[in-house]
Amino acid sequence: MHHLNVAACEFEYDDSDPAGYRCGVVRAGALLAAKETAIKLYEIPPGESLCPYHYEYAEEWLFVIEGEVAVRTPDGEQGVRSGALVCFSAGPDGAHKLTNRSAQPSRVILFSSSREPAIAVYPDSDKIGVWPGDDRDSVMLRRSDGDVPYYDGEV
């Protein structure tokens, strides 16, 4: 059995994250040897957001452990507090962004499928990210750059 005390986690911060997106993370799924579910704990400081507004092609679940976060969805923005459980559906209807508008840090858990490839769409910036499981092949593209024909560059 693998276990983790979510009340006693040490969050890792990435110094390269830009202002407005500086959040701590614990990759709980990896620590617990999860194979099918991605589980991450996040600490969101006041005034910071967790990821730009996006949607994926797999369900994502949010559980608010501590504090309050503003959740932006296609229906607008709504505050959710400690104890709230939220499901973001796959596809555009599940688009979301979490922001801590309070004066205290918030802590949340996000659950999703760990299947690959993972695809996320960022409507505000017109980007699509693809993560096939090998970082050498991961890519972030602007949708406005246009499609290319299937055989482009092949013959």
CB 51 within 8 A of CB 98: yes
- CA 118, 123, 125: angle at the middle one, nearest 5? 100
| pTM for this entry | 0.90
pLDDT in tens, the chain (155 residues): 999 998 899 999 999 999 999 999 999 988 898 888 899 999 999 999 999 999 999 999 999 999 999 999 999 999 999 999 999 999 999 999 999 999 999 999 999 987 888 899 999 999 999 988 888 888 888 888 877 776 777 86
- Which residues have CB under 8 Å from 1's CB, separation 6+? none
Helices of type H across the chain: 28-31
State the greatest distance between any 2 C-alpha atoms of the chain, in Å, as a whole number.
58
> What's the token pair of residue 12?
């890792």
Which domains does the chain carry? Answer: 9-116 (2.60.120.10)
